[in-house]
Amino acid sequence: MSGTLYIVATPIGNLADASPRALEVLAAADLVACEDTRTSRTLFARHGIRARTVALHAHNERAVAARLLAALRSGKNVALVCDAGTPAVSDPGALVVAAAHREGVRVIPIPGPSAATAAYSAAGFPHGRFLFAGFLPSPPGKALDALDVPYPVIVFEAPHRIAATLEALLARFGPEREIAIARELTKKFEEIARMRLADAPAWLAARPERSQGEFVLVLGPGTEQKPAVPVPASETVLALLLESLAPAEAARLAARITGAPRNVLYRAALARARKK
């Protein structure tokens, strides 16, 4: 029989958050795949775990996955951990898990710490669902359009990008939308603050140390978007408005009336004007 692949959640900062079950699995595993073996050894040393480890990160995941599957096929139990929190959530590991499923290997999650759910629970936005966006591209640009949803959005951010990301969110979603900023969760200098986006840049700049550490942002719910009128209907409205208005004004009013994107209508208006 093949072995078992355990997906083990480890502390995101405070080593005391490791669950007894997680420690038991790590101690008993034949092999532990770590995002960074040096980071994992700190946890192992704290709890007297002498595990055989192998590094598994973004640059070697495919090659190491083959090695781990061979070990699993031979009946060995493998534990997968990342530097902090739950593996395969914005961290390496998903490729290994998918390969294990394809091979019919038993996969068992050992749930525990997660920066995303920790920040969400402390943000206080009551809602039945949320969108986990992970790390945004740099610069975020049009990726922010996907965050305009009527429920909270969870974003991970690095210290060297946090100021630019807060400014981009403010520019895209306006000053009144709320945000919870969680910094250094479960660590010595943990901070969690909820505020308007208008106040976020000043909050960050108020103390130099606030630009350090790891961040989780919980963007408050946006407004419910009304379904846009079908494109043919919006084009009809645009055509009627163009009979007496300039393209820019016609596009603006057509967007307000139909809910269709203003930039799309403006391009259509310019195209119509060129044909005349």
Q: What is the pLDDT of residues 62-76, one digit of tens each?
A: 999 999 999 999 999
- Please state whether beta strands 215-219 and 153-157 pair in parallel, antiparallel, or not at all (unpaired): antiparallel
197 and 132 within one domain: yes
Same domain, 71 and 161: no
What's the Cα-to-Cα distance from 256 to each of 102, 176, 210, 225, rounded to whole Å? Answer: 50, 21, 40, 13
Check whether residue 102 and residue 160 sit in a common domain: no
Q: Which of 65, 98, 113 is the last residue of a domain?
A: 113
Cβ count near 31 (within 10 Å): 18
- As a whole number of angstroms, the distance between CA 71 and CA 103 comes to 12
Q: Write out pLDDT tens, residues 179-201.
A: 999 999 999 999 999 999 999 99
pLDDT band of residue 100 (cuts 50, 70, 90) is very high
Instruction: Check which CATH number belongs to the domain holding 197 and give it.
Output: 3.30.950.10
Residue at a domain's end among 74, 94, 113: 113
pLDDT digits (tens, 9 = 90+) for 228-255: 555 568 888 988 898 889 999 988 999 8
Q: Is the pLDDT of residue 128 over 90?
A: no
The last residue of a domain, from among 199, 219, 239? 219
Q: Is the same domain home to 125 and 188?
A: yes
Domain of 80, CATH number, reads 3.40.1010.10
**135 domain-assigned:** yes
**Residue at 226 is within a domain:** no
Residues 11 and 106 both lie in one domain:
yes
- Least confident piece of the model among 42-56, 113-127, 138-152, 259-273: 259-273
Query: Is 29 a member of any domain?
Result: yes
User: CA 13 to CA 115: how far, in whole Å?
Assistant: 10
Residues 13 and 109 both lie in one domain: yes
* Same domain, yes or no: 67 and 161: no
264 and 214 inside one domain: no
**Full-model pTM:** 0.77
How far CA 37 is from CA of 56, 84, 207, 231, in Å, comes to: 9, 12, 33, 54
Q: What is the DSSP annotation of 42-55?
A: HHHHHTT----EEE
**Does any domain span residue 224?**
no
Task: Please indicate, yes or no, whether residues 190 and 237 belong to a single structural domain of this protein.
Answer: no
43 with 92, same domain: the answer is yes
pLDDT over 70 at 276, yes or no? no
Q: Which domain holds residue 103?
A: 4-113
d(CA 252, CA 273): 16
**Do 177 and 121 fall into the same domain?**
yes
Helix axes 247-258, 262-275, angle to 10 degrees: 140
